[in-house]
Chain A
Amino acid sequence: DVKVTQSSRYLVKRTGEKVFLECVQDMDHENMFWYRQDPGLGLRLIYFSYDVKMKEKGDIPEGYSVSREKKERFSLILESASTNQTSMYLCASSLGRGEGNSPLHFGNGTRLTVT
């Protein structure tokens, strides 16, 4: 079974702090994604990556950046946290681009509160 692990379940940060959310997958998947989930808005894509050191903007990249130095690890960075970034953050992975429509496998999420 694919395991996607997010390092923190809950985080509380202050406005202006730099925040790192870490995600590791153990199935050698090429694709990794960061989503945020907000009530009524579903899951919205922040950034994704097809390969090491590659990144692409999703639908709502503003205020975020990402890092993928190793295939199994995808980090989401909030350069200067703001209260409107309070949300549930979900990391996911899937097989490579040539693998057709393979489902996403999600981690259990990190609930971030910015005060």
Chain B
Amino acid sequence: DQQVKQNSPSLSVQEGRISILNCDYTNSMFDYFLWYKKYPAEGPTFLISISSIKDKNEDGRFTVFLNKSAKHLSLHIVPSQPGDSAVYFCAASAAYNAGNMLTFGGGTRLMVKP
């Protein structure tokens, strides 16, 4: 059973609007969460992360929100740009896996239309 789930395989958004990508997890031991972005023919690149001691982390146009009670996190991109079109993966790790062993979700393909 997948411990990290991204229930929307794809999302289409107009340029300039907000993109919201969602992620749910089941393992209560997860305490560190990351988002990766992947363009075709390239490896995933790290985007933003959040520790379980926080409920929000912001980096420019990207904000990640964490709701521990709901075991849910989301990535907000404001404003969305055509260059943001990519597959976004949510990932999680637990303190006992201090070697950075990550569990990934299935990914959401974001398409930002000009």
List residues of A whose CB falls within 8 A of some B CB. 4, 9, 31, 33, 35, 40-45, 48, 50, 58-59, 90, 92, 94-95, 97-98, 100-109
**Residue pair A103, B49 in contact (C-beta under 8 Å):** yes
Q: Name 30 A/B residue pairs within 8 A (Cβ), A-sorted.
A: A9-B41, A31-B99, A33-B101, A40-B106, A41-B2, A42-B89, A42-B104, A42-B106, A42-B107, A43-B104, A45-B102, A45-B103, A50-B99, A90-B43, A90-B44, A97-B99, A100-B98, A101-B49, A101-B93, A101-B100, A103-B34, A104-B46, A104-B100, A106-B36, A106-B43, A107-B43, A108-B43, A109-B41, A109-B42, A109-B43
List residues of B whose CB falls within 8 A of some A CB. 2, 4, 6, 9, 32, 34, 36, 41-46, 49, 51, 89, 91, 93, 98-107
Closest to B43 in A: A106
**Residue pair B107, A101 in contact (C-beta under 8 Å):** no
Min CB gap A70→B, angstroms: 19
Measured between beta carbons, the chain B residues less than 8 angstroms from A59 are 103
Closest to B107 in A: A42
Measured between beta carbons, the chain B residues less than 8 angstroms from A41 are 2, 106
Closest to B33 in A: A101
Closest to B89 in A: A42
The 10 residue pairs across chains A and B that have the minimum distance between CB atoms: A106-B43, A103-B46, A43-B104, A42-B104, A42-B106, A94-B100, A101-B32, A97-B99, A108-B43, A106-B44
Contact of B100 among A9, A31, A58 (CB under 8 A): A31
Contact of B99 among A9, A48, A90, A109 (CB under 8 A): A48
**Residue pair A101, B51 in contact (C-beta under 8 Å):** yes
Whole-angstrom CA separation of A54 from B71 in the bound complex: 33
Closest to B48 in A: A103
Measured between beta carbons, the chain B residues less than 8 angstroms from A106 are 36, 43-45
**Residue pair A43, B100 in contact (C-beta under 8 Å):** no
**Residue pair B9, A40 in contact (C-beta under 8 Å):** yes
